[in-house]
Amino acid sequence: MKYILPCLPLIFLTSCLTGLIQEGTTFLAEDFEGYSNTEDLFQGPSSKWGFFQQTESDNYIEFDTTRPHSGEQCLKIFAKKGREGFASKSDLANTDMGFREGDIIHVSMWFYIEGTKDLTDIFLFDIEENVQIGAGPGLRLALESPVGFLKIERRKMLESDIEPVEENQIPFPRNQWVHLEIEIQLSRNKDGYIQVFQNDTLLIDAQQERTLPRDRIVFIQGAKGIYDNVQVGITANSLQHDATIYVDDIEILQIN
Amino acid sequence: MGELIGQTMQKQTSLYLELGGPGGLGSLNIERTCSQRKSVQFAYRIGLSSFPIDRNNGIVVVIPVGIHGIAGQAPHFMDVSVGQVISFTTKGKFHFLGTSAIGYRHQKTEKPVFFRLSYTPLISYLLTYQYQHWAGLTIGYTFLK
């Protein structure tokens, strides 16, 4: 008994933390049709989104019927410019996903970005793991440079960013619908891959990559090897100016 | 830390800074010798380290604790340890890591300053098993009696 008693707190902690591992879903599709107001996105048993992530009171989402990509409406998203040290977020989040090591994920989304402003450091899509210690490590699709070529940012999982080769650093088209696709094979070791397509053109083809977080010294702890969180919209805005984007026809699914 | 073989232990307290090691990038530690069995002297250590994550996740406090077994003849010692790394954030999250270490400790009998170079792997075991290589470099001061 004297050896068992000291172990009880550890057994208790282990069971508490193990409860954090969720089964999750591997499919999410959203066309923004059939909603009358944005609260409906988060209500009901068939709700596809957990919450609207809003870090500034002026940030908002609303349905737009003037320029849907398909159907009757799309989602308009507005985010104030960020402040130094504080990202401005305005996005839809689902924290009930369950993509695991070895899964191949396919993401398809349509974006429309108004105007011709500088697109540096606008983030459009995050896939992350909720860890005990760490800042939601994962992969983030971002726009780089004023013209906004696509890159994969991995700073939160303490890995280097993945940028396209120079000839693929093409500007993000403005004032038109743009089809973005991402295919990821998940691996905590360096044997996964990430492919990013813009209007069916392969811009990033990164092989032998770590695509799923793992514990890193004391800076990331409790990584389970499960992406449980996706965010779509303006997951972080740049410091330069406010941004308005439109999004439609989102599909995120496991394909293997 | 004197010559251990054939001596009775004198309890000593040391303060040391470890770069790397189970504290992450570094930690400040207190070590206290606690017992001796044959030629091995045992000590326990408790440390403190901290770093910020971000606004949402707050600040992490890292507390490495461990038991050390130290054997050898001055000034050359082998320092072996096992322990835990307790981490918690100002937002109420926590986690534990296992740690072990094996290293070389250089400490002269009459000098208070000592050095240690250790291999200090970190072992995640609560949710999934993950083994990470890591190392630590220590400079410490022993309060001699």
CB distance B89–A133 less than 8 Å? yes
Token readout for A38 is 């944005």
Q: Which residue of B has its CA nearest to A219?
A: B24
Token readout for B35 is 């017992």
Residue A11, pLDDT > 60, answer no
CB distance B53–A21 less than 8 Å? no
Say whether A215 sits in a helix, a strand or coil.
coil
- Which of residues 19 through 48 in chain B touch A, CB cutoff 8 A? 22-24
CB distance A10–B62 less than 8 Å? no
Q: What is the pLDDT of residues A25-56, one digit of tens each?
A: 899 999 999 998 999 899 887 789 999 989 99
CB A199 within 8 A of CB A173: yes
Confidence of residue B6 (pLDDT cuts 50, 70, 90): very low
Q: What is the pLDDT of residues B8-35, one digit of tens each?
A: 456 889 999 999 999 999 999 999 999 8
CB distance B89–A214 less than 8 Å? no
pLDDT (mean) for B115-134: 94
**Angle at Cα A38 formed by Cα A37 and Cα A40, nearest 5°?**
80
By the CB < 8 Å criterion, does A222 face chain B? yes
Contacts of B62 in chain A (CB under 8 A): 218
- Provide the percentage of residues in chain B whose pLDDT is more than 70: 93
Torsion angle in degrees (nearest 10) through CA of A96, A99, A104, A110: 20
**Angle at Cα A192 formed by Cα A107 and Cα A178, nearest 5°?**
25
By the CB < 8 Å criterion, does A17 face chain B? yes
Confidence of residue A19 (pLDDT cuts 50, 70, 90): low
pLDDT for res A47: 87
- For residue B122, what are the contacts with CB-CB under 8 A and spacing of at least 6? A215, A217, A218, B22, B85, B97, B98, B99, B131, B132, B134
Contacts of A21 in chain B (CB under 8 A): 127
Nearest residue, CB atoms, A215 vs list B22, B89, B124? B124
Contacts of A17 in chain B (CB under 8 A): 95, 126-127
By the CB < 8 Å criterion, does B50 face chain A? no
Q: Mean pLDDT across chain A, nearest whole number?
A: 90
The residue among B20 and A115 whose pLDDT is bigger is: B20
Residue B3, pLDDT > 90, answer no
Nearest residue, CB atoms, B130 vs list A13, A136, A215? A215
pLDDT (mean) for A228-252: 93
Token readout for A156 is 């939160």
Which residues are bridge partners to A254 per DSSP? A105
Q: What is the pLDDT of residues A133-146, one digit of tens each?
A: 998 999 999 999 88
Q: Which residue of A has its CA nearest to B93?
A: A132
pLDDT (mean) for B53-72: 92
* Chain centroid offset of residue A62 CA: 20
Distance between CA atoms of A253 and A106, rounded to whole angstroms? 6
Task: Find, among A243, A186, A230, the residue nearest to A93 by Cα.
Answer: A230
CB A240 within 8 A of CB A94: no
Range of lowest pLDDT (A42-46, A61-65, A210-214): A42-46
- Which of residues 58 through 77 in chain B touch A, CB cutoff 8 A? 60, 62
Secondary structure (DSSP) of chain B: ----TT------EEEEEEEEGGGSSEEEEEEEEEEEETTEEEEEEEEEEEEEEETTTEEEEEEEEEEEEEEEETTEEEEEEEEEEEEEETTS-EEEEEEEEEEEEEE-SS-SEEEEEEE--EEE-SSS-EEE--EEEEEEEEE--
Say whether A157 sits in a helix, a strand or coil.
helix
Q: In what order do the strands lie in the sheet with A229-237?
A: A51-54, A88-94, A229-237, A122-128, A138-144, A149-153
CB A92 within 8 A of CB A15: no
Residue to test with chain A: of B91, B127, B129, most A Cβ within 10 A = B127
Q: Mean pLDDT across chain B, nearest whole number?
A: 90
Distance between CA atoms of A109 and A125, rounded to whole angstroms? 9
CB B64 within 8 A of CB B22: yes
pLDDT for res A119: 87
Question: Residue ranges of the alpha helices (H) in chain A?
Answer: 8-18
Confidence of residue A96 (pLDDT cuts 50, 70, 90): very high
CB distance B53–A135 less than 8 Å? yes
Confidence of residue A88 (pLDDT cuts 50, 70, 90): very high
